[in-house]
């Protein structure tokens, strides 16, 4: 186990103190294996848990049978920003965004709030359904105050930058905003993490079609509300 073989079974016969100690070590190894997977899965940029941990948290919450909110946050116009200012500036903005999301969830999301980094400019929050408004509004307020610090004064004066879209067409891109798609989840509505992710993607598309930073709560089974 010390060498990293967390699946090792000592096969100690039951019935004495040594067997009880062996069981404790086996349980510890199982926990260490989970922690190792989560560490390897974490984003090297933001240090936030990645897809493995996100899926695990969602499945655990569904199994618990309670109601919770899954919030999918995405930055609008991030790619042209990275193309314009460079990789280092883009990475710094993502790191700061992860920090402020984590701070908002820690302050307002309750003791069991969770923040993950899917990758790129996509983040998730898993929080109590009753805290959606306060958490999302805190994230939006912090992000809007922060993002302007990452633009040159001449770009801020005109409200954005010139760049190419995904089709190679030159156009104007406003200052980056954040869109948060919210899905209220319960075991009776969603059967898996995949179901939740699909519903959130639909709401995210609707949210990104509206200007400015905003959050949008999806109706049951993923329709926008």
The topology under which CATH files domain 51-222 is: Alpha-Beta Plaits (3.30.70)
Please tell me the predicted confidence (pLDDT) of residue 206: 92
Classify each residue of 10-45 as buried b or exposed e, where b means 16 or more C-beta atoms within 10 Å of its C-beta: eeeeeeeeeeeebeeebeebeeeeeeeeeeebbbee
Cα–Cα distance, 70 to 181 (Å, whole number): 8
Q: What is the pLDDT of residue 219?
A: 75
Q: Where are the domains of the chain?
A: 12-41, 51-222
pLDDT at residue number 6: 56
How far does CA 126 lie from the centroid of its chain? 8
pLDDT score recorded for residue 191:
87
Q: What is the pLDDT of residue 224?
A: 42
pLDDT tens-place values along the chain, 225 residues long: 666 665 667 776 766 666 666 666 656 645 544 444 444 467 888 989 999 899 999 999 999 888 999 999 999 999 999 999 999 999 999 999 999 999 999 999 999 999 999 999 999 999 999 999 999 999 999 999 999 999 999 999 999 999 988 888 999 999 999 999 999 997 678 889 999 999 999 999 999 989 999 999 997 654 444
Give the tokens for residue 204. 């995210």
Rounded CA separation 109/113 (Å) = 5
Residues 184 and 127: their CA atoms lie apart, in Å, by 10
Q: Say what the pLDDT of residue 48 is.
A: 94
User: Which pLDDT score, from 0 to 100, does residue 225 have?
Assistant: 42
User: Is 221 within 8 Å of 201 (Cβ atoms)?
Assistant: no
DSSP tag of 78: H
Residue 42 has a pLDDT of 75
């Amino acid at each position: 186990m010390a060498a990293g073989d967390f699946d090792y079974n000592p096969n100690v016969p039951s019935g004495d103190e040594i067997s009880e100690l062996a069981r404790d070590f086996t349980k510890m190894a199982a926990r260490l294996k989970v922690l190792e997977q989560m560490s390897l899965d974490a984003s090297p940029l933001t240090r936030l848990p990645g897809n493995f941990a996100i899926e695990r948290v969602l499945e655990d919450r569904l199994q618990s049978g309670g109601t919770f909110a899954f919030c999918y946050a995405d930055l609008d116009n991030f790619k042209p920003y990275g193309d314009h200012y460079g990789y280092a500036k883009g990475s710094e903005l993502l790191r700061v965004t992860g920090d402020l999301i984590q701070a908002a969830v820690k302050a307002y999301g309750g003791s069991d709030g969770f923040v993950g980094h899917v990758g790129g400019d996509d983040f998730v929050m898993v929080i109590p359904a009753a805290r959606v408004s306060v958490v999302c509004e805190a994230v939006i307020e912090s992000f809007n105050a922060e993002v302007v610090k990452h633009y040159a004064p001449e770009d801020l004066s005109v409200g954005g930058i010139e760049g190419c879209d995904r089709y190679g067409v030159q156009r104007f891109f406003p200052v980056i905003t954040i869109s948060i798609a919210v899905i209220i989840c319960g075991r009776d509505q969603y059967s898996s993490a995949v179901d939740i992710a699909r519903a959130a993607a639909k709401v995210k598309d609707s949210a990104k079609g509206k200007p400015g930073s905003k959050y949008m709560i999806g109706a049951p089974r993923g329709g926008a509300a």
